[in-house]
Every structure is written in C-alpha cells, then in structure tokens.
Amino acid sequence: MRIDKQQCAERLLAHDEFTVLSHEHPDGDTLGCAFALCAALKMLGKKREFRCGDTVPHDFSFLTDGFRNDEVHHPYVVAVDVADPGLLGSLRAEYGDKVDLCIDHHPSNTLYAKETLLEERAAAAEILYELMPLLGVEPDRYIRECIYTGVSTDTGCFRYPNTTPASFRIVAELTEKGIDSRTINKLMFETRTKSFLALELLARKTLEYHCDGRCAIITVTNDMFRESGSDESECTPITALPRQIEGVRVGAVFKQKPDGTFNVSVRTDGDIDASAICKKLGGGGHRGAAGCSVDDYEDGKARLLTEIAAALNAQ
Amino acid sequence: MRIDKQQCAERLLAHDEFTVLSHEHPDGDTLGCAFALCAALKMLGKKREFRCGDTVPHDFSFLTDGFRNDEVHHPYVVAVDVADPGLLGSLRAEYGDKVDLCIDHHPSNTLYAKETLLEERAAAAEILYELMPLLGVEPDRYIRECIYTGVSTDTGCFRYPNTTPASFRIVAELTEKGIDSRTINKLMFETRTKSFLALELLARKTLEYHCDGRCAIITVTNDMFRESGSDESECTPITALPRQIEGVRVGAVFKQKPDGTFNVSVRTDGDIDASAICKKLGGGGHRGAAGCSVDDYEDGKARLLTEIAAALNAQ
C-alpha cells in the first residue's frame, strides 16, 4: 500500500527498533538515505542497524566512519532506494518479504513492501530530507552531508535531466547551513584512481557502434579488472560513456560479474525508454537509466540489440 | 574605480549604444554574460553589438543563433568576465584602453576599465542575473539560458568548490521558470565527439608525474590536434584531468598554439594557489584554476615545475 510522507513519519515515530536496508552495489543515494535515516532515528532515541548485501565501498567512509549498529531484536524493516526485493542481493532471502516500509523514488518500484512512500524525485534522499521536519529532527551536518551525497550522486552532480528546481533548492539549504561539499565532490566525482584510468583505457578499446551509430556498447570483463587492478565499484563513469558520444542515443555497458555472467547498464537520451528496453530482458529502472542481467554475453547482447533497434526504429 | 550593482545599472540605463566584449577563447560564462546583457539592452530599446577576439565555438550556437549586431556609432564599451585587457586577444589594440565598464568575478581583475563592478562570485553570470531587476528587466527564457550557461560552466556543473548557495538558488529560480537545461548540459558537459575521444587518448599518453606524484602534467601538441581532427576548443576536460588523479594536488596542461608556443592551464586542490603560481610566469586567474603562456616548452615546464615544487613544499 502506498502512504504519504506524514504517514511515513508516523510509522517511523511509532516504532523503537529498526533495520535499515540499502540495495546491493550500494550507491550514494541508497547509502545517503540509509545513514541519514539511521542518524535521525538515533537522534530520536531509537535503536537501528544498517544492512546491505554488499560491502560499502571505501569512497563512502566519510559516511560510515564511526557508525556502529545497535543491537535490535524486533526491528521494523525499512528499505531505502530499493525498487525491487531482488535488489537486496544476498539479503533477499532474509528480508525480501519482510520489508515493512520502503522509501523510494523509482517509478518501477514493485510495491513489494507492506507500505511504500514513493515519489518520483531526482533522488530518494530528497524525500528523506523532507521527512526530517515531520520527524521533528533538525538535520545536523552529518545528515546534511548524507542528503547531499544522495542528491548529488543520483543527479550526476546536477547534470542529469532528472535534476529539478527542488533538487537545487534543497542543496542551496544544505550548503548554506554548511557541508563539506568540496570533499564529497572530490570523492564522488573528481578523483580518478590510477587503476580506474587503466581500466577505462582497456574498456574503451571494446567500444563498438550499432544501429548506424545511434547505439554504442562497451564491455568490461573480469580480465580487465585483473589487469588494471580496478573493480566493479569504479565502473560508474564508464557506464555513462557510450551514451555521451555524439550521435549516440542509447549506450550500454556490459560488466562481467565474478561468476562470469553480466550486469548490463543502459543509458538513453531520455526520449528512448531505457526502462522499457531492460524490462524485456527482466530488468528495470528509470526512463534515462536502467539495467538488467544476462547469463551469456553474445546471446544477451543480441537480445539487447534487438530491443534497442526496435526502440530506435519506433521513434 | 570600483562601483556597485546599483551604479552599474545606472550606467547601463544612462547610455544608448553599447559594445559588449567577451574574452578570447570565449567560454560559457563570458558568452552567457555578453548575450544576456545584449538581450537585456535590446529589451530596453538600446543598440548593442557583440565583439570577441575569437570565433564563438559552434557548441554555443544555441546562444548565438538569430543574433545580429546593431549598428552602433558612439558605443559605451562593456567587457564581461574579462580580468585583464590582454584577455581581449586580437581586440586588445582596439579596445584595451577604451573599456568604460567591466563586470567581472575574477579577484585578479586589474581594474583596467574606467569603472569596474567586481564581485567574487562563482560566475560573472550570477552578477548579471542580479543586475536584471535593477535594470527593470524580467529575464525571458533566452536570458535565463544565458545565465544558466554561465553559472553551470564556470562551476563545472556545480561540482567545483566555487559553487555557493547563491549559485544553487539562482539556478533553482532559472529552472523553475523554465530553461532547457537538458540540451545545455548535453552540449556543455556530456557530448563527447569522436575527435575529442581520439585527442584524449593521445594526450593521456603524455601524462607525467612530478614532485612525488603530487603534480601531474599532460601535453597537447598541434600534431595531436591534426591526428585526432580535434582542436583547442575541445581541451577543457583534458585540462581538468591531471588534477583529478588520486594524490595529485597540482595539475597542469600545456596546450600548443598554432604559432608553436604554449598556453598553460594550472589546476589545484584549492589549498595551493594556482593564481600565485601562474603570476610568477606572467599569468593569473583563480586560486583553484589559473593560466599563463610560455614560448618554449622545456624551459616553460622547468620554470613552472620550480614554482609548483616551491608551492607544494611551502605547505
């Protein structure tokens, strides 16, 4: 069932122990939301633990340093920025059908939770920010930095078309009250590790064009991760690259997983629906950015290209 | 002499014919300011011409399409975002000592104009935006897009540390009233031409580290422009690259000019003063981003490295 912000705040205020879940391959928005919520619950004198199916990348240590889970016995389970129980990853078996409340901004949310606060916003962190006054919480610097991390990362630092006046207004307030956006931006958007630069050079050699140059595909394999000393957590800028090339309307990146299968990220110019393309292959997401998984590279690429060509030709 | 915004508006309202000057190698801020000002003057029934020492890059055709200079006979000369008469390039001889009014945000402004409105803001376009109500001009969509172009490009799309709450608030207003930020962002920040990608690969091969990895230098030569089919106008992302590498505090890019000499761009983490380094070589700019010119590559690099090492060791 869908609920509004006021009802959501009431649910949070009514419980005393919480498990807060982020999605697998955690990004700035799911982590910003989770740690902002944990901090707010703590300020309200409640107990909370954070759980995620994957290890939190080192880049986010400015959010996780000093964080300790409380011991919780009968938690109210809240998933943040998790559109589908499958995205809980290794926590799916434990929590997939036990999520009491989901706070999310993905239109593709399957409403799997008992109750869902769903608003189509640039970032789920914007919803979290607007929940704070309803919880009676005045965001401190840490919460502000959590929110900034969510909004800035999910908008590509305010560059993606999902950015709204509300995103800018929220960030104006956050920066006015004081955050270290310089350090956060440096970590999230600027710093390129030597291993990333090596990976990017290898990946760019795989660049191939399809559909008369309207589609570009890059492939990242486990061999490349090994050779560069990089890993999946550094792939985000590569994911964005194919669609950024002039004339390309649909970009896709195949990223090999340790088990040899592939995660596929699809980015479009927004006129083409990436989410619809990925749904055909069992995935989902947003209009401009979506994803799916395929077991076999050649077969998966052929199926994806069929869907992309159909979407391009329907224009 | 320095004047404030109110006085600046009075000067603009008091004259009827204007020449509006942008700096050489024009960027989004100097062009956004110039065309916003021209549009505002036109709305006030005044005559204005735009002049720049270099051709406006094709990327900015969304600002220049349909623009026609008026015939002006006794112009009041306004330079926007031009810190030094030298930056007028080929127009220096004609206008260097004839600038009546300069509107700028560079602390290094030499106050060469008869009167100067100087505020240390993220972009000169922010100052232009705040001048509009003082001129009695309600910015239309075109002016809003000019301002957005200036603010977004000079802040690296809100990623650089110069971005302030005021930048976010102005852009919240601009986007709320309606601009095509999607198209502007795509042109300014997202689209990578095939020629740029080729140039970047060539340039990255020149990457060298100095000062124990705290300084990185990339060199772009005329041969690379020829081989890639790219040119100087596509160098901005390369300019940013060296400083973005982990551990690098000062990045420099040497870009060869058609005459064989080099423009040098220096970027720092902000703790090191790029402007002070460049001043030693006859240049200037901001604390985090500055530039200078050198005639000889090896000699220029040696002198620059001496200054960079001194700045790093003084920390």
For residue range A82-96, what is the model confidence (pLDDT) as tens digits? Answer: 999 999 999 999 999
CB of B183 within 8 Å of any CB in chain A? Answer: no
A175 with B191: Cβ contact below 8 A: no
Give the whole-number percent of chain A exceeding pLDDT 90.
86
Q: Where are the domains of chain A?
A: 5-189, 194-313
Half-sphere exposure of A273 (CA within 13 A, CB side): 12
B168 with A165: Cβ contact below 8 A: no
Alpha carbon distances (Å) from A166 to A202, B48, B138, B172: 39, 36, 22, 7
What's the rounded Cα separation, in Å, for the pair A307 and A301? 10
Structure confidence at residue B160 (pLDDT): 87
Half-sphere exposure of B239 (CA within 13 A, CB side): 17
Q: Which two tokens stand for residue B108?
A: 């290094």
Which residues have a Cβ under 8 Å from the Cβ of B87 and sit 6 or more positions away?
Answer: B23, B24
For the segment A136-158, the average pLDDT, to the nearest whole number, is 97
Q: pTM for the full model?
A: 0.82
Structure confidence at residue A173 (pLDDT): 98
Using the 8-state DSSP alphabet, how is residue A203 labeled?
H
Q: Note whether B277 and B265 are within 8 A (CB).
A: no
* Chain A residues inside the 8 Å CB shell of B188: none
* DSSP β-bridge partners for residue B20: B50, B78
Confidence class for position A260, pLDDT limits 50, 70, 90: very high
pLDDT at B138 over 80: yes
Confidence class for position A309, pLDDT limits 50, 70, 90: very high
Confidence class for position A116, pLDDT limits 50, 70, 90: very high
Superfamily name with CATH number, domain B5-189: inorganic pyrophosphatase (n-terminal core) (3.90.1640.10)
Q: Which residue has the higher pLDDT, B262 or B186?
A: B262
Q: Which residue has the higher pLDDT, A247 or A147?
A: A147
CB of A270 within 8 Å of any CB in chain B? Answer: yes
Half-sphere exposure of A163 (CA within 13 A, CB side): 27
What's the rounded Cα separation, in Å, for the pair A147 and A136? 17
CB of A66 within 8 Å of any CB in chain B? Answer: no
Structure confidence at residue A201 (pLDDT): 85
What's the rounded Cα separation, in Å, for the pair B7 and A313? 57
Confidence class for position B270, pLDDT limits 50, 70, 90: confident
Q: Which residue has the higher pLDDT, B227 or B160?
A: B227
For the segment B37-52, the average pLDDT, to the nearest whole number, is 98
* Chain B residues inside the 8 Å CB shell of A191: 244-246
For the segment B55-76, the average pLDDT, to the nearest whole number, is 94
* Chain A residues inside the 8 Å CB shell of B201: 201, 204
For the segment B230-235, the average pLDDT, to the nearest whole number, is 84
pLDDT in tens, A60-84: 999 999 999 999 999 999 999 999 9
pLDDT at A189 over 90: no
Structure confidence at residue A269 (pLDDT): 83
B168 with A171: Cβ contact below 8 A: yes
Instruction: Name which of B211, B212, B314 is nearest B272 in CA terms.
Output: B314
Q: Which residue of A has its CA nearest to B248?
A: A191
Q: Note whether A146 and A124 are within 8 A (CB).
A: no
pLDDT at B31 over 90: yes
Structure confidence at residue A99 (pLDDT): 98
pLDDT in tens, B170-209: 999 999 999 999 999 988 988 788 889 889 989 988 999 9
Q: What are phi and psi of A59, to 5 degrees?
A: -50, -25
Q: Which residue of A has its CA nearest to B198?
A: A204
Residue type, A197: L
For the segment B223-233, the average pLDDT, to the nearest whole number, is 91
What's the rounded Cα separation, in Å, for the pair B117 and A292? 54
What's the rounded Cα separation, in Å, for the pair A305 and A172? 41
For the segment A101-128, the average pLDDT, to the nearest whole number, is 97
For the segment B301-309, the average pLDDT, to the nearest whole number, is 97
Q: What are phi and psi of A205, to 5 degrees?
A: -70, -20
The topology (CATH level 3) of A194-313 is Diaminopimelate Epimerase; Chain A, domain 1 (3.10.310)
B245 with A185: Cβ contact below 8 A: no
Structure confidence at residue A58 (pLDDT): 84
Of B159, B168, B176, the CB nearest to A172: B168
For the segment B119-137, the average pLDDT, to the nearest whole number, is 98
State ipTM.
Answer: 0.81
What's the rounded Cα separation, in Å, for the pair A19 and B195? 50
pLDDT in tens, A193-243: 888 988 998 998 899 999 999 999 999 999 999 999 998 878 888 998 999
A to B CB pairs, distance under 8 Å: 86
Of B164, B246, B270, the CB nearest to A191: B246
What's the rounded Cα separation, in Å, for the pair B59 and B56? 8
Which residues have a Cβ under 8 Å from the Cβ of A10 and sit 6 or more positions away?
Answer: none
What's the rounded Cα separation, in Å, for the pair B3 and B12? 12
Alpha carbon distances (Å) from B251 to A250, B201, B235: 33, 17, 14
Which residues have a Cβ under 8 Å from the Cβ of B206 and sit 6 or more positions away?
Answer: B217, B218, B219, B220
Structure confidence at residue B155 (pLDDT): 95
Of B164, B169, B246, the CB nearest to A194: B246
For the segment A118-131, the average pLDDT, to the nearest whole number, is 98
Structure confidence at residue B213 (pLDDT): 92
Distance to chain B for A207, nearest Cα, Å:
11
Instruction: Name which of B133, B132, B157 is nearest B28 in CA terms.
Output: B157
Estimate to the nearest angstrom the gap between the alpha carbon of A156 and the chain centroid. Answer: 11
CB of A293 within 8 Å of any CB in chain B? Answer: no
What's the rounded Cα separation, in Å, for the pair B267 and A240? 25
| Chain A (190-229) residues lying within 8 Å, Cβ to Cβ, of chain B | 190-194, 197, 201, 204
For residue A204, the SS3 value is: helix
DSSP code string of A95-151: HTT--SEEEE--TT----SSEEEE---S-HHHHHHHHHHHHT----HHHHHHHHHHH
Q: Note whether B282 and B290 are within 8 A (CB).
A: no
B192 with A244: Cβ contact below 8 A: yes
Q: Which residue has the higher pLDDT, A231 or A306?
A: A306
* Burial (CB count <10 Å: 0-12, 13-18, 19+), residue A205: exposed
Return left, alpha or beta for A102; rule: phi > 0 is left, psi -120 to 50 is alpha, else beta: beta
